[in-house]
Structure formats: structure tokens, C-alpha cells
Amino acid sequence: MQKKEMLYEGKAKKVFATEEPEIYIVSYKDDATAFNGQKKGTIVGKGVVNNRMSNFMFRLLEQQGIPTHYIEELNDRETAVKKVSIVPLEVIVRNTAAGSLSKRLGLPEGTPMKTPVLEYSYKNDELGDPMVNDYHILAMDLATREELDKIAAMSFKINELMVEFFRSVGVDLIDFKIEFGKTTAGEIILADEISPDTCRFWDVNTHEKLDKDRFRRDMGGVEEAYDEMMKRIGLR
Ligand code: UDP
């Protein structure tokens, strides 16, 4: 698989075309941003962690019947994926209150949710990824009713599978963000990444944070936390 021209450079990844029209290569960077790009930095080795952890999770989810964009890990930072057009939504699933939900609803961080909470944000940096609901999504034609139903059902299933897996390695899955893509054939599949950048992971016993909140909140031990997550899932 050969990289051809770069199609897109985001905050944490680059996407390249290949000689195969239906296959892209994603390349993960160590660049870290938070608060809609206002805070910038580097997390040494993050690209490797996010690439390898995402691929591990995608393989696990595929085995449980969730279609994903994953094709093949090429090296520590690069992966071949199916070409998709990204549905411009950040899909967030929450099991425990934290971050923006805690602020918005006045729930202390760590408050368990009685049932999982599904939220959508419209992916638009200029607007700061505003939260939207089904009506906004349909009215703006960001997805069809059928696509949105599929996205919601897949998101809850992904949450169940991920909660169970991370529990088994001593980690509470507090919340996470995923993105979906549409293949040329029109199928909705899981895309983007699943990593400490996009999930909140707390140690089951100590509640120590093992994710990007350590960077967002200047807590220190960022690289160590990413490394610990790799150890927990058996990749180090
Ligand atoms: N998240 C993400 N990208 C974003 C915003 C949020 O990956 O642009 C993830 C974040 O890591 C957390 C979950 O989505 O696991 C919920 O984030 P929240 O809405 O609480 O926002 P934050 O507090 O990160 O601003």
C-alpha cells in the first residue's frame, strides 16, 4: 500500500490517498489540541498509542458485528482504512457525568447516569461544534432518519461492548466520542478513532484519570497515562 497525495490534515491526523480509489491511509500525529484548538501541545508517542489502540478496538468491535473503516495496520502510526464521507456529527455517549455535561447540568464529575446518554455535536470548528438534536440533524440534512437510527443503535451497542471490555482491564469508561462514515455503497460504518484522546478512562479503583483530561487540565503525567492504557489492553 503506497501513500499518494495528502487529502486532509486535521488536528491529530493526516489522511492520504492510495493507488486504490476505495482505500485511504490515516497517519496519526503527536500534536494535541483542546478547547477547540485554543490549547496546543505535543504528547510524545500519542500518535502511536492512538493508532494502535484504535485498531485494537476496531478489530474487537468488528468481531462483535460492528462494521468499521479498519482494513490493516501498516506501521506504528499508519493504517489503511475504507474511504468514507464522514457524517459531520460528533456522537458522544456518556455513562458517568464529566466534562461539559457536568458543567451544563450541574452534576458533579463522577455522578453515574441511570441510563447511557447520547448526544450529537455538529462538526464545525468555526461554530465550536454546537450540540444538536435529531430535529436539527434532519432539518440541516446532516443525516437521514434511517442513518440517524442506525448511528444511535450502533453507538449504544459500541458503548455496551466497550464498557464491558474496559471493565475487564480495570478501567471505567466514563464517556467517549465517535464518528461515523458513509461508504461509496451507502453503508454507515464506524470511522475516525477510539483512543485516550476521545474517551474518558478512569481507573476502576483509584479513579485516576488515564486520558486526555490530564493534558486539558494540565495535570501532568500525560504520556504515562497513555502508556498505562496501552499496558491495560495488552499492547505494551
Ligand atoms: N470529545 C472528543 N472531541 C471533542 C469533544 C469531546 O473526543 O471535540 C470526547 C471527550 O474526550 C470526552 C467526550 O467526548 O470523552 C465528552 O466530552 P465533553 O462533551 O465532556 O467535552 P469536553 O469536556 O472534552 O470539552
Ligand 1 pocket test: pick from 92, 194, 217 the residue with the most ligand atoms within 8 Å of its Cβ. 92
Give the ligand 1 atom nearest the CA of 175. 15
Ligand 1 pocket test: pick from 35, 100, 211 the residue with the most ligand atoms within 8 Å of its Cβ. 100
Q: How far is the CA of 146 from the centre of ligand 1 (A)?
A: 26
Closest alpha carbon to 12 in 38, 22, 131, 41 = 41
Mean pLDDT of all residues in 184-192: 98
- In this model, does residue 103 exceed pLDDT 90? yes
Q: How far is the CA of 125 from the centre of ligand 1 (A)?
A: 14
On average, the pLDDT of the chain sits at 98
Q: Whose CA is nearest to atom 6 of ligand 1?
A: 177
Instruction: State the SS3 of 14-42.
Output: EEEEECCCCEEEEEECCEEEECCCCEEEE
What's the confidence (pLDDT) of residue 39? 98
Mean pLDDT of all residues in 187-208: 98
- In this model, does residue 211 exceed pLDDT 90? yes
Q: Whose CA is nearest to atom 21 of ligand 1?
A: 100
Strands (E), the chain: 3-9, 13-18, 23-28, 31-34, 39-42, 70-73, 78-82, 85-86, 89-96, 112-122, 131-132, 171-182, 188-191, 199-203
Task: Quick: pLDDT tens for 23-46.
Answer: 999 999 999 999 999 999 999 999
- Confidence grade of residue 1 (pLDDT, cut at 50, 70, 90): confident
Q: Which residues line ligand 1 (CB under 6 A)?
A: 90, 92, 98-101, 129, 175-177, 198-200, 212
